[in-house]
């Protein structure tokens, strides 16, 4: 078996892996990257990008249906799901080609194969892939994550027959199921519920807890819940799924068994780091609760081995992965850099959009922080009123007492995904609210609601 050498070996071609490869090459390092499926990983092929493509089509469709309120009417408006999926595939193909082009331009060796750590030989690590051995001074583990598959009776058979699907397969459906049941009310579950409800499915969402949207601020999550219920989505909260059979899902609520008829079931209870079959035991790489612990430079317990992106389980978001990749590569290059997780924004791309960053009321109380809350309806934004008929939203800011610093910001409404980075910068900068009030926002914009809320 032949052997090739690079400075850096990267396992995984998702956001963490491909950006790390790009930054390392820019820093003068030679790089070999292993990707077993398609460049771009889950985010580009079956996550962030394809789901947003579907949701944008749904948004255009809903806007057309409501056009009469704005003096614009159209006949026979319909959503062609098959055409939407075709466009989604085109968008994904174009962006994957873009990532591949960057790898080629950076003279990065891409091996389309699984990769397994073999050993450490002196100062070099040995990784096997595509029938060859590759050596490198550093390893960046960026293998990503995979859907969690709970031990529900009948689920395995359902997945085999296509009655049950994960976030990967649902994006390939060419026909809209008449009845769709979503198990899990996290980001993936809510976004897919929103799209398929708009596309014509009768959607039910079963969630184990009494709250939707995971760690999202509870008040914001409650507003989103009511909006989605108003759109016809049925939520069954505090329920435990107990079994799947062709055409139905059984669940329990307060010990009482219920059955729900359905044509398709989406399993969306979350994701877990991909750490199996990578050869970690060869180097004694430490794992904890199914993830790889890292420090603030993304180093593992093994010198020269870094874990970036979903695989370390810290913040399973593509934009977190990008920043982790930069910090890890900077450390390899001898540049001072530190990963911080206090001001990482999160978004749910439903309609209305939800975005948040920093502490929620719940997390701040758990930490014993003293804080005040300022809230304001987005109807105080002139642009929002001009562009939205019979709609509302909310801006919610958490300010720490004493320091008078912004420690949390939460939004529900249009453009929330585009506005939240500003709040993230405010938290990261650690400026007191008095200074933040002096910032000038463009008018008229929905983003002005952040400034108005400071003064409320």
Catalytic residues: 443
Q: Cα 177 from chain centroid? A: 25
Of 440, 416, 432, the residue nearest 357 (C-alpha): 416
Of 411, 294, 409, the residue nearest 350 (C-alpha): 411
Q: Cα 252 from chain centroid? A: 29
Q: Cα 152 from chain centroid? A: 25
Q: What is the CA radius of gyration of the chain?
A: 23
Q: How far apart are CA 360 and CA 362, in angstroms?
A: 5
Residues 6 or more apart in contact with residue 63 via CB below 8 angstroms: none
């Amino acid at each position: 078996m032949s052997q090739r050498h690079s400075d850096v070996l990267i396992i995984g071609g998702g956001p963490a892996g491909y950006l790390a490869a790009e930054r390392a090459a820019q820093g003068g390092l030679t790089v070999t990257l292993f990707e077993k499926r398609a460049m771009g990983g889950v985010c580009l092929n079956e996550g962030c990008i394809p789901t947003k493509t579907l949701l944008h089509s749904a948004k255009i469709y809903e806007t057309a249906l409501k056009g009469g309120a704005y003096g614009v009417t159209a006949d026979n408006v319909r959503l062609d799901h098959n055409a939407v999926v075709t466009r989604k595939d085109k968008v994904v193909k174009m962006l994957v080609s873009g990532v591949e082009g960057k790898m080629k331009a950076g003279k990065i060796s891409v091996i389309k194969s699984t990769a397994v750590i073999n050993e450490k030989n002196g100062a070099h690590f040995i990784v096997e892939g595509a029938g060859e051995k590759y050596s490198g001074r550093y390893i960046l583990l960026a293998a990503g994550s995979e859907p969690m598959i709970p031990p529900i009776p009948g689920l395995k058979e359902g997945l085999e027959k296509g009655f049950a699907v994960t976030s990967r397969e649902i994006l390939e459906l060419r026909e809209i199921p008449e009845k769709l049941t979503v198990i899990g009310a996290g980001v993936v579950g809510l976004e897919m519920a929103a799209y398929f409800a708009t596309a014509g499915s009768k959607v039910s969402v079963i969630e184990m807890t009494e709250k939707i949207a995971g760690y999202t601020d509870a008040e914001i999550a409650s507003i989103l819940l009511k909006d989605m219920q108003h759109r016809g989505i049925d939520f069954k909260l505090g329920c435990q799924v107990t079994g799947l059979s062709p055409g139905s899902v059984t669940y329990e609520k307060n010990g009482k068994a219920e059955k729900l008829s359905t044509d398709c079931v989406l399993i969306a209870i979350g994701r877990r780091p991909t750490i199996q079959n990578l050869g970690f035991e060869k180097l004694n790489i430490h794992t904890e609760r199914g993830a790889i612990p890292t420090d603030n430079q993304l180093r593992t317990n093994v010198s020269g081995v870094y874990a970036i992106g979903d695989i370390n389980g810290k913040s399973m978001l593509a934009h977190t992965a990008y920043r982790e990749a930069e910090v890890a590569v900077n450390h390899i290059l001898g540049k001072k850099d530190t990963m911080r997780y206090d001001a990482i924004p999160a978004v749910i791309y439903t309609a209305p959009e939800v975005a948040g960053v920093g502490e929620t009321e719940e997390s701040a109380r758990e930490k014993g922080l003293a804080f005040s809350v300022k809230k304001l309806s987005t109807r105080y934004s002139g642009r929002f009123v001009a562009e939205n008929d019979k709609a509302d939203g909310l801006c919610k800011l958490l300010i720490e007492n004493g320091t008078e610093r912004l420690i949390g910001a939460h939004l529900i409404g249009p453009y929330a995904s585009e506005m939240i980075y500003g709040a993230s910068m405010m938290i990261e900068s650690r400026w007191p609210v008095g200074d933040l009030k002096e910032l000038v926002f463009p008018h008229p914009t929905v983003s002005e609601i952040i400034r108005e809320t400071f003064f409320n």
